[in-house]
Amino acid sequence: MTAIRVGHLYPDYLNIYADRGNIAVLARRAAWRGHELDVTALGMGDAVVPGEHDLYYVGGGQDREQLLVAEDLVAKAEALREAVTAGAALLAVCGGYQLLGRGYRGFHGEDMPGIGLLPLETVAGERRMIGDVLLECEFQPGEKRTLAGFENHAGRTRLDPGAQPLGRVLAGFGNDGESGFEGCRAGRVIGTYLHGPLLPRNGWLADWLLEQALAHRLGADDPPSLEPLPDELERRAHEVSAARARARGGRFG
């Protein structure tokens, strides 16, 4: 058994829209392969120690909660950057995603500093972008997969030229309702607006994150391949969410 060490950032503040469910999914999918998920809460004032965790997770929150944690996250920025440079994986959802960029300007003009881990900036818009969303992702050349989730955000996230999005929007709004892209990916770091939670209906992404975390834990350059799971319930959940997104349509549907 391998213990996969997870640092869960600000679980008491950034925890809306069932995002805690992502941790539960990672734990079960690891256990089904004989591994253990060792989760540590990293709250306000807690230090991030590079090398201590294989995977970091940041959930979503309202502007008020983001404002509360933003300065503390900036204090952790150098250590987080060192950790991911050394191969740790990171998943950030919605509010957490916004704070991984250079900054987020809230609806009332609040300027929240980001940590610059992802090449993007976010500014709140007048209209919230809400509903089921479907993406097409290509993590490996020629290997296209779909991601289904739920978005609810006012932020308009703009990626820098050349930045890699998580996926192309098939239905829904995505980062800004205009570019046709959603999320951002840089190495083993993923930022996305997809809630729901995300991982129960997208088992392949949960496994990708576990494989990246295991590579860090084992000191391997190439992530190990996890044994496939039946995933019948996960596929059905994905299909229901994808169908809702397609029925919704949207700018890119």
Identify whether 137 is a catalytic site residue: no
Token couple for 92: 């950030």
- DSSP three-state, residue 37: strand
Peptide bond into 197 cis (omega under 30): yes
Residue 96's nearest CA partner among 124, 127, 129, 69 is 69
Residue with tokens 């391949």: 225
Residue of 8, 53, 153, 195 marked catalytic: 195
Identify whether 216 is a catalytic site residue: no
- DSSP three-state, residue 212: helix
Residue of 8, 35, 53, 94 marked catalytic: 94
Which residues lie across from 133 on neighbouring strands?
149
Q: Are 149 and 198 a contacting pair, CB within 8 Å? A: yes
Active site residues: 94, 195
